[in-house]
Amino acid sequence: MHDTSPAPYTAFDGSRLLASGPADEVTAAVRAALDRDPTARILTFDDSTGAVVDLDLRAAEIAPRSEEAPSRGRGRPRLGVVAREVTLLPRHWEWLATQPGTASQTLRRLIDDARRRDGGRSRVRAAREAAYRFLVAIAGDLAGFEEAARALFAGDRERYLAHSAGWPDDVRDYADRLAGWEEPLASG
């Protein structure tokens, strides 16, 4: 199955930004770059996760290959409901049985409550992990990588920028975007 969503992807030719945007645009840019130079070192990233995705250049669309792709089966796909297995201990099933509604309704309610109480921490953590995945793939051998990664997870943008100052602008700018640090630092 091909991913036909307009989810944004970004391709790099070495450390130079090649293309960013919907799947079909990025795929076309990668094809053109490989036609010009079949030995080009092109990596394509999923903007939502920072993970490297494989392109099926024979297809009209990008086809990320993922073991995590949910199978289409039970559930209500039109509503976005996807059936997956949940494994719980007997005491958890017993507790769920005492709650109003079905086990699925109770789990959705618990998840929604946890997300409200989270205060955006999960989103920040996911953004930093996406930036880190990208940096490991493309900048892992650059000077200052380890200290920049520590600063990224500490949320210390100034220290991150200091350790990544010698990196190619496209690499640093994309990592900033993934980490949610797109806005410029306020000058003092």
Do 64 and 8 reside in the same domain of the chain? yes
Do 127 and 154 reside in the same domain of the chain? yes
Q: Is residue 80 part of a domain?
A: no
Q: Is residue 81 part of a domain?
A: no
* pLDDT for res 12: 96
SS (H, E, C) the chain: CCCCCCCCEEEEECCEEEEEECHHHHHHHHHHHHHHCCCCCEEEEECCCCCEECCCCCCCCCCCCCCCCCCCCCCCHHHCCCCCCCCCCHHHHHHHHCCCCCHHHHHHHHHHHHHHHHCCHHHHHHHHHHHHHHHHHHHCCCCCHHHHHHHHHHCCHHHHHHHCCCCCHHHHHHHHHHHCCCCCCCCC
Do 9 and 27 reside in the same domain of the chain? yes
Q: 150 falls in which pLDDT band (50, 70, 90)?
A: very high
Interval 7-47: pLDDT, tens = 699 999 999 999 999 888 999 999 999 999 999 999 999 99
Do 112 and 125 reside in the same domain of the chain? no
Q: 162 falls in which pLDDT band (50, 70, 90)?
A: very high
Do 113 and 132 reside in the same domain of the chain? no
Q: Is residue 112 part of a domain?
A: yes
Q: Is residue 156 part of a domain?
A: yes
Do 49 and 33 reside in the same domain of the chain? yes
Residue 62 has pLDDT above 60, yes or no: no
Do 111 and 138 reside in the same domain of the chain? no
* pLDDT for res 85: 85
Q: Which domain holds residue 4?
A: 1-72
Q: Is residue 142 part of a domain?
A: yes
Q: Is residue 78 part of a domain?
A: no
Do 6 and 55 reside in the same domain of the chain? yes
Q: Is residue 77 part of a domain?
A: no
Domain count for the chain, please give it. Answer: 3
* pLDDT for res 166: 94
Q: Is residue 50 part of a domain?
A: yes
